[in-house]
Amino acid sequence: MRHLVIIIVSLLLVVATWAGWRRHVFNELKIAHPANVAEFESDMTEALARQIFQELQKNGPSAFFLAFGERLTPPSGAFIARFQNVQPRVERFDAAVMPPTGMIMDTSSGRIGLIVQIIKIKPYVVGEYEVEVAISNAKAGWDHFVYRIFNAGGEWRVKGRTPA
């Protein structure tokens, strides 16, 4: 009888160990998922993106390609439509290709563009946010910035920018 109890306890221990290992190895939280674009598509994000596009116009890109999150999730067509009056034009990230040369190319024209990746938005204080942004053409170490943005009377304004 004692051997049967030891065998049952040993089997339970093996099953519990296997289940814990499997949960650890295949943990759903470790798998990177596309960003939830609804969290990014707001008036605040639009105001920040417009400011960034204005700063980057001097580089002469043929287009800006907008992406959200760490996995470069393209924004919705409705959000891109907000930028119809921006020159050069603003496109979804999936309208670009990245050949081995490292350049960002517009699939419709073959011309060089820039990716603006809004990685993370987090509250800083009430009414003020820190937004992590990556820009594709910047030198290593200067390609990530944290913008601080706040709402002043219904209008979103950039308070500052620091390298991330």
Residue type (1 letter), 76: S
Question: What pLDDT is attached to residue 45?
Answer: 95
pTM: 0.75
Quick one: which of 140, 156, 160 has its CA closest to 48?
156
Chain centroid to CA 148: 16
Give the model's confidence band at 69: pLDDT under 50 very low, under 70 low, under 90 confident, else very high.
very high
Question: What pLDDT is attached to residue 121?
Answer: 94
Give per-residue pLDDT as tens, 123-132.
998 889 999 9
Give per-residue pLDDT as tens, 94-134.
888 888 877 888 888 888 889 999 999 999 988 899 999 99
Rounded CA separation 53/90 (Å): 9
Give per-residue pLDDT as tens, 31-56.
556 778 788 999 999 999 999 999 88
Give the model's confidence band at 77: pLDDT under 50 very low, under 70 low, under 90 confident, else very high.
very high
Contacts of 162 (CB under 8 A, 6+ apart): 145, 146, 148
Question: What pLDDT is attached to residue 151?
Answer: 92
Contact call for residues 130 and 113 (beta carbons, < 8 A): no
